Structure 1
Amino acid sequence: MRYFTTGDLNKQVGDVTDAASREPIVLTRHNKSRFVLMSYEHYERMRSGIDPRRAHYVSEMPDEHAELFGEAIARLAKGEGYDNEP
């Protein structure tokens, strides 16, 4: 989880909200955690208790997930997929 100050929010609202669109972030004030900022979609998943994401042991991973995982690993091995993803 990334941390930003409330001053960062005032000065760099685009950077802070961009980070919050990917994962919840903590906003600090006077070096203390004060707020959590997250996307509305993340909030709704958390609030409803319904999250379509699932975790699997590698040995039990569904075939379609294993294929996607293998493709992603291959892209990363070629240096792709770090800074050029949407």
Structure 2
Amino acid sequence: MRRATTRSGRPADCREALELVTGYLDGVLPAGRRRRLEEHLAGCAECPVQLEQIRVTVEILRCFGAGDIPQDTLAKLWAAFARP
């Protein structure tokens, strides 16, 4: 059975995982969702790479004040993470 894919061609469960990453990194993801995400990360080749890229990016962005980065720049950055 094939996994469902999104329009971008990314498996649906990878897309869902990507949507949970910021909550995971912030430590606010409920235990059940965190566990499902960690199970997905353990079996996926691509998502752990995406997680690390986002983690590093968030760490860099925290060095700047919230108002120092234009909103359109932030939007482009997050859109880039959503691409396959």
Both structures adopt the same fold (TM-score exceeding 0.5): no
More helix by share: 2
More relative contact order, 1 or 2 (CA 8 Å, 6+ apart): 2
**Could you tell me the TM-score, scaled by structure 2's length?**
0.31
Mark the structure with the bigger radius of gyration: 1
**Could you tell me the TM-score, scaled by structure 1's length?**
0.31
